[in-house]
Amino acid sequence: MIDSELKEKIEQIIKESLTKKREPANNEKIIPLEASGRHVHLSQTDVDKLFGKGYKLTPKRELSQPGQFLAEEKVKLIGKKGIIEKAAVLGPARSHSQVELSKTDSIKLGINAPLRFSGNIDNSASVFIASSDNVIKLKEGVIIAKRHIHMRPKDADVLGVEDGEIVSVEALTERPVIFKDVLIRVNKDYSLSMHIDYDEANACLFSKGDKAKIIKQK
């Protein structure tokens, strides 16, 4: 009969083996993995409507992509069935407003946000956006963002991929998952990282600092 101390040690070893993250080999195409929560990009026209004519978003902290920042300002998202309070606003202002949600967020609001690449907002979902003083209706612009990888040209050369290529990616997390149909986006102003939403992050038990491995699709 196994005594209690030995049993405890065995259980601990089993637990550690089941939850241990797979360490990548040196020759694998490893990239940083980031979870991107719901957020709002605003055009300057909509910034003016929500916060006042000529208003400038206030940077709170820089994001991983150069020139992008989390703003101090927050907004409320209002759908047919629910409300999301204090949604993050990202700056600087863009040419068109866009709201990026997870499927869970979309269900909570009661809207049918399509799965799209960022920037593809034609005939997408609608939502009301509110500041403390004003409310606007975004007639289109609400999407569930398709997963993608940002990288610079030199990163693409090292990783053996090109702009617009579709790859699979293995999340090297506590619960590894292979994500398919991941878009490669190459630009000299990008910083290397893969973005997934919170639904995807929860599916693979993502933790900050986790990595991922690019798998070339045949």
Is residue 99 within 8 A of residue 40, CB to CB? The reply is yes
Whether the per-residue pLDDT at 89 is higher than 70: the answer is yes
Instruction: Please report the pLDDT score of residue 28 as a whole number.
Output: 73
Please give the average per-residue pLDDT across 201-215, as a whole number.
96
In the chain, where does DSSP find H-type helix? 4-19, 44-51, 103-109, 153-159, 198-203
Tell me where in the chain the CATH 2.40.40.20 domain(s) lie: 22-34+147-215
Instruction: Please report the pLDDT score of residue 7 as a whole number.
Output: 61
* pTM (two decimals): 0.84
Cα–Cα distance, 125 to 103 (Å, whole number): 12
Read off the tokens for 113: 């946000």
pLDDT digits (tens, 9 = 90+) for 5-55: 666 666 666 655 555 555 555 557 899 999 999 999 999 999 999 999 999
- Which position has the token pair 């047919």? 80
Whole-angstrom distance between the N-terminal and C-terminal Cα of the chain?
53
**CATH code for 22-34+147-215?**
2.40.40.20
**Angle, CA 112 vertex, CA 86 and CA 131 arms, to 5°:** 25
Alpha-carbon separation of residue 29 from 118, 160, 170, 184, 204 (angstroms): 24, 9, 10, 13, 19
Cα–Cα distance, 215 to 168 (Å, whole number): 5
